[in-house]
Amino acid sequence: MAATTISTQIPGGPGLADVKELTRMERIGAHSHIRGLGLDDALEARATSQGMVGQLQARKAAGVILEMIKDGKIAGRAILMAGAPGTGKTAIAMGMAQALGTDVPFTMLASSEIFSLEMSKTEALTQAFRKSIGVRIKEETELIEGEVVEVQVDRSATGAGAKTGKLTLKTTDMETIYDLGQKMIEALNKEKVSAGDVITIDKASGKITKLGRSFSRAKDYDAMGSDTRFVQCPEGELQKRKEMVHTVTLHEIDVINSRTQGFLALFSGDTGEIKSEVRDQINSKVAEWREEGKADIVPGVLFIDEVHMLDIECFSFLNRALEDDMSPVVIMASNRGITRIRGTNYTSPHGLPIDLLDRLLIITTTPYTEKEVKHILSIRCEEEDVDMTDDAKEILTKIGIETSLRYSIHLITAASLVSRKRKATEVDVEDIKRVYSLFLDEKRSVQYLKEYQQQFMFNDYTDTMEAPQAMEM
């Protein structure tokens, strides 16, 4: 569910709406109901808004951080979200990602992803850091855009001389004639430009692009190729200046420069280790662009989940990386109390060394109240398209309080399938009871295991021989 700057554009069209409907089911993730942080203009958290419920303090704190990020003036800030499991840490991170929008790079990372055979831990962390910093640049082109009225090519009388020609282009506001040289005539022939096509001629390179056919010429022919697209006749002046703003991440620039055909590596994901000389070169080039006013740095957010899984070497690296002037905002999430730091034998709060904790702003999340649990379950029911009676909601809320929030959320879809089996439209108490008995939560499962082992203790077998048999069954 990470929002990166590579945007895939889904082309609009009547047929594709159905495809989107079918795949919507797969796209409902655990946090897909979150649209933002749900804060008002004064940065006060509303009780329920934009999919977020409760956790007012944590959301307010996240809102303040968000303002700091939007200003873009801070770098190297790190935040730790600490709380019991199922208290909304990842949900708040998702809310921040949605609130920031698609322009700001937001990378989500689970700590265990760092450990891979393909690249070292520090390389993986460096890549994650650089994926979270965007560079905004503006591309400028001058081009001539218009609908072709007539293409006229004159061959000289001898037949071996240079061809000359005239191209008449028009827009809704004006029309003019261009004299063509040899190269341009060849290019037009190659693109098979005919009257009624809407074309673009790049002034710098002379490249011709066919945008489509004009609507007014749609009735010219009865039979046309299947790939003919119809576009409107362009408006305004013929010679336009087109400006496009792109946001690319430093990581993407690194990968493209690290080897030939580097942009293919971006799609395949097989980037490998990138040399530090390449990175230094990119840094100096980007700094140069900043000086010249050609580029803007957009510091983004790196969210590291389960940060207690990183080891002491990663923590030392983080200490150093956070002090870089081009560092993103790092948000970490941890649900451990005082545990051992991986890679050492020392214990520390949240599993992080104290010098790293010193650099962090810590936001705590508290467990949800019964009312909040009920509300969250209602929102999830809506998101998963499940109708539930109020009694069923009450029972589910009680289950959520006694066991865990996640377990009750998972029961929702299961209960809706059970209710469909008995041809009912709404989920009722009996459906909830049925799935509750079918699917065990963590506590009951442990209890069952203990009882199960108890059964074997009444056998005549000795203790040492019991263990393998228990595993088999």
Partner 1 sequence: MSYIPLQIDQAELERLAEDIMIEKQLVIDLDRRRNDNRVALRSLSTATAPKKSHFFAGGLFIRLPTPTVQKLLIKDQTNIDGEINRLRDSMKEHARELEALESGAGNVKRNRGFDLKGMRKEDLSSIARHPTVE
Query: How far apart (Å, rounded) are the C-alpha atoms in residues 54 and 88?
Result: 9
For residue 197, the cross-strand partners are 213
Binding track over 241-280 against partner 1, x by CB under 8 A = x-xxxxxx---xx--xx-----x--x--------------
Give the residue, chosen from 29, 85, 161, 236, that forms a contact with partner 1 under the rule CB under 8 A: 236
8 A C-beta contact, residue 231 and residue 145: no
Residue closer to partner 1, measured from CB, 290 or 420: 290
Chain positions 119 to 138 lying near partner 1, rule: CB under 8 A, are 135-138
Which segment (189-197, 239-247, 377-385, 408-416) binds partner 1 by CB under 8 A?
Answer: 239-247
Query: How far apart (Å, rounded) are the C-alpha atoms in residues 207 and 397?
Result: 64
Strand (E) or helix (H) holding 59: helix 56-71
Name the minimum Å distance from CB 175 to partner 1: 9
Binding track over 294-313 against partner 1, x by CB under 8 A = xxx-----------------
Binding track over 345-384 against partner 1, x by CB under 8 A = ----------------------------------------
Strands (E), 124-272: 133-154, 164-170, 175-180, 197-202, 208-214, 230-231, 239-249
The SS3 assignment for 71 reads: helix
Structure-block tokens of residue 81: 């979200």
167 binds partner 1 (CB under 8 A): no
Query: How far apart (Å, rounded) are the C-alpha atoms in residues 113 and 125?
Result: 10
**φ, ψ dihedrals at 177, nearest 5°:** -115, 135
Residue closer to partner 1, measured from CB, 288 or 387: 288
Q: Give, in order, the Cα–Cα distances in Å from 149 to each of 164, 175, 231, 365.
A: 17, 9, 15, 67
Residue closer to partner 1, measured from CB, 294 or 422: 294
Binding track over 33-52 against partner 1, x by CB under 8 A = --------------------
Number of residues that bind partner 1 (CB under 8 A): 47
The SS3 assignment for 124 reads: helix
Residue 297: how many other CB atoms lie within 10 Å: 18
Residue 94: how many other CB atoms lie within 10 Å: 28
Name the minimum Å distance from CB 243 to partner 1: 6
What are the residues binding partner 1 (CB under 8 A)?
A: 5-7, 9, 70, 101-103, 135-141, 173-174, 176-177, 179, 204-205, 236-239, 241, 243-248, 252-253, 256-257, 263, 266, 282, 285, 289, 292-296
